[in-house]
């Protein structure tokens, strides 16, 4: 059985305790690795290494050298792309096509982006009578990165790359569901970065590596992606150490489709925004609002596309477009939402069950058909809570005012899409939506220089471009009397 250890101070090391947990392939239900569970002792070792590295060679190399090292990390990921793809598919259950076209390339692109961008950012200077102020940017210090399972490499490197580009050192706690990519990144950086700059401690959340990292007094900031309830728990724990925080949390994202939208393009993209990565993308649109004149046609087209274009199956098959949900436990949670929707009177146009025709080797896997529902009122559980599965609910609307109200009627505020060929209306609606990221006539089109994050219960702060630099550094003002 393959073993996954911690990567601390440039070395793979076992846990001090005998605690281990299983890494399960969600498509087969098979155990694929045993993982060392870290806790207070391993986090302390990693934080000590990260703190020491802050004053070692990492601190004294030039900006150009640091960025060159990060570009080598990007190349290292590309060189090991096949290993990363396999790890992401077998840990997460995502389709190999998605892993190799989105997740793993973004793992390397994140390093290239921040290695480039941060080279050209300046600080402020203010002249006053008889004095001059200028600001210096310094690394935040030791950054704790707690990441989720849904895009393991993409989301971990989305934080590791800017943190390192800004001169910090990091301790990563990857999701217990998807431990492999953080270990593989250790293999990549081992011969590139000085020891202690990148550390990864495996483990669970509460009473394990996650809470130990949040509690550690020498961690200067925590950047977290995951559920809103976990964010609240981390915030409470981090309050004692007054740590700087950045949170990317859950969503219940609206897609707003006006009757003048290019319907075929809209359906094609909505199919993706509904079912990509089994609907396990924080940005997936789960509440679809369609202007009444095209409501029936839209539902018919989306259901037809879901039935004919989504191929649920073995994630390793390049033809598969939808793989397995992350675990049986998550499948049961999603099923609970489907049951509540049924009880609330939803009509199921497709899906709602495990596909009948899967091969025998996937018997233990957590598969669900793409599911389209209508008929849910705005207060229903399935309309208000994040399902995080391949399930969407479609609702008609009659006016711009009404749909803005419906879209904003949620405690979340992560993303939204607006579909219309009337650009004035699209701008007007986008400006009034309570969401951090809004796409017009597209979805998940990313420019890594732009601000990314959520409003309300979907997050705190923004990352991306200069906003990442803001989080991963501290500014100090120097005032010189002339
Ligand atoms: P999760 O909150 O269950 O776990 C995320 C990470 O937090 C894991 O590494 C976990 O071990 C750790 N953790 C759990 N409890 C902890 C605690 N008390 N202290 C410290 N660490 C703890 O989330 P998940 O199930 O892995 O991911 C799915 C969620 O993530 C969804 O809600 C999704 O919307 C959200 N998400 C948000 C974004 C975004 O950009 N806003 C991106 C991806 C995922
Ligand atoms: O594209 C990104 O940078 C990003 N953070 C995506 C988040 C996807 C959520 O599942």
pLDDT over 90 (residue 39): yes
Residue among 236, 123, 238, 107 at smallest CA distance from 174 = 107
Q: Is 21 in the pocket of ligand 1 (CB under 6 A)?
A: no
Report the percent of the chain where pLDDT is more than 70: 100
pLDDT, one tens digit per residue, over 41-50 is 999 999 999 9
Q: What are the structure tokens assigned to 300, written together?
A: 């018919």
Interval 225-232 mean pLDDT: 98
> Between 104-117 and 465-472, two packed helices, what is the crossing angle to 10 degrees?
80
Residue 81 pLDDT greater than 90, yes or no: yes
Mean pLDDT of 219-234: 98
Give nearest CA residue, ligand 1 atom 36.
226
Q: Are the beta carbons of 341 and 393 closer than 8 angstroms?
A: yes
Does the CB atom of residue 283 touch ligand 2 within 6 A? Answer: yes
Choose among 378, 443, 440, 439: nearest CA to 405: 378
Average pLDDT, the chain: 98
183 contacts: CB under 8 Å, gap ≥ 6: 4, 5, 7, 12, 200, 202
Atom number, ligand 2, closest to the C-alpha of residue 158: 3
**Confidence (pLDDT) at 388:** 98
Q: Are 7 and 209 in contact (CB under 8 A)?
A: no
What is the CA(40)–ligand 2 centre distance, in A? 29
* The pLDDT of residue 226: 98
The pLDDT assigned to 186 comes to 98
Sign of the torsion formed by the C-alpha atoms of 39, 247, 279 and 95: negative
For residue 477, how many other CB atoms are within 10 A of its CB?
Answer: 11
CA distances (Å), origin 173, targets 133, 145, 225: 39, 6, 11
pLDDT tens for 347-406 read 999 999 999 999 999 999 999 999 999 999 999 999 999 999 999 999 999 999 999 999
What confidence tier does 212 reach under pLDDT thresholds 50, 70, 90?
A: very high
Structure tokens that stand for 385 in this block: 């809570």
pLDDT tens for 250-262 read 999 999 999 999 9
Contacts of 305 (CB under 8 A, 6+ apart): 267, 268, 271
pLDDT at 1: 85
Q: Are 138 and 151 in contact (CB under 8 A)?
A: no
Q: Is the beta carbon of 234 within 6 A of some atom in ligand 1? A: yes
Q: Is the CB of 149 under 6 A from ligand 1?
A: yes
- Please provide the distance, in angstroms rounded to a whole number, between the alpha carbons at the two ends of the chain: 68
| pTM exceeds 0.95, yes or no | yes
133, β-bridge pairs: 126, 479
146-186 tens-digit pLDDT = 999 999 999 999 999 999 999 999 999 999 999 999 999 99
Burial string for 314-336 (b: 16+ CB within 10 Å, else e) reads bbbeeebbbbbbbbeebbeebbe
What is the position in ligand 1's atom list of the atom closest to the CA of 282?
34
* Ligand of minimum distance to the alpha carbon of 223: 1
Q: Calculate mean pLDDT across residues 37-64.
A: 97
Over residues 114-132, mean pLDDT: 96
**Gap from CA of 225 to ligand 1 centroid (Å):** 5
Decide: 155 and 181 in contact? Cβ < 8 Å.
Answer: no
Answer yes or no: are the C-beta atoms of 283 and 249 closer than 8 Å: no
């Amino acid at each position: 059985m393959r073993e996954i250890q911690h990567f601390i101070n440039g070395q793979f090391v076992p846990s001090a305790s005998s605690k281990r947990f299983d890494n399960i392939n969600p498509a087969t239900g098979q155990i694929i690795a045993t993982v060392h569970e870290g806790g207070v002792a391993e986090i302390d070792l990693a934080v000590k290494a990260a703190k020491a590295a802050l004053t070692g060679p990492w601190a004294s190399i030039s900006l150009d050298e640091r960025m060159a090292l990060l570009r080598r990390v990007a190349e290292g990921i590309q060189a090991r792309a096949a290993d990363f793809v396999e790890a992401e598919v077998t840990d997460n259950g995502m389709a190999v096509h998605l892993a190799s076209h989105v997740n793993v390339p973004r793992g390397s692109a994140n390093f290239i982006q921040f290695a480039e961008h941060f080279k050209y950012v300046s600080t402020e200077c203010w002249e006053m009578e008889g004095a001059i102020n200028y600001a210096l940017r310094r690394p935040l210090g030791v950054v704790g990165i707690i990441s989720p399972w849904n895009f393991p490499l993409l989301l971990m490197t989305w934080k590791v790359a800017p943190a390192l580009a800004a001169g910090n050192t990091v301790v990563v706690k990857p999701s217990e569901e998807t431990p492999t990519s953080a270990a593989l990144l250790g293999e990549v950086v081992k011969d590139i970065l000085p020891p202690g700059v990148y550390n990864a401690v495996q483990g669970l959340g509460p009473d394990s590596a996650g809470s130990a990292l949040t509690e550690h007094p020498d961690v200067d900031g925590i950047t977290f992606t995951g559920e809103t309830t976990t964010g609240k728990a981390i915030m409470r724990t981090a309050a004692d150490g007054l740590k700087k925080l950045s949170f990317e949390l859950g969503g219940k994202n609206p897609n707003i489709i006006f009757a003048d939208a290019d319907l075929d393009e809209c359906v094609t993209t909505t199919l993706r925004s509904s079912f990509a990565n089994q609907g396990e993308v924080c940005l997936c649109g789960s509440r679809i609002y369609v202007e009444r004149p095209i409501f029936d046609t839209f539902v018919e087209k989306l259901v037809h596309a879901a039935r004919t274009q989504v191929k649920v199956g073995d994630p390793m098959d390049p033809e598969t477009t939808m793989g397995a949900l992350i675990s049986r436990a998550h499948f049961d949670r999603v099923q609970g939402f489907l049951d509540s929707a049924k009880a609330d009177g939803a009509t199921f146009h497709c899906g709602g069950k495990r596909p009948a025709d899967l091969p025998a080797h996937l018997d233990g896997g957590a598969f669900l058909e793409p599911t389209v529902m209508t008929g849910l009122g705005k207060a229903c559980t399935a309309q208000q809570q994040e399902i995080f599965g391949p399930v969407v609910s479609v609702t008609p609307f009659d006016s711009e005012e009404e749909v803005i109200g419906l879209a904003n009627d949620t405690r979340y505020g992560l993303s939204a899409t607006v579909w219309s060929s009337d650009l004035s209306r699209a701008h007007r609606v986008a400006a009034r939506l309570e969401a951090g990221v809004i796409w017009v006539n597209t979805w998940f089109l990313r420019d890594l220089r732009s601000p990314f994050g959520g409003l309300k219960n979907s997050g705190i702060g923004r990352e991306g471009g200069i906003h990442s630099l803001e989080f991963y550094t501290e500014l100090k003002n120097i005032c010189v009397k002339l």
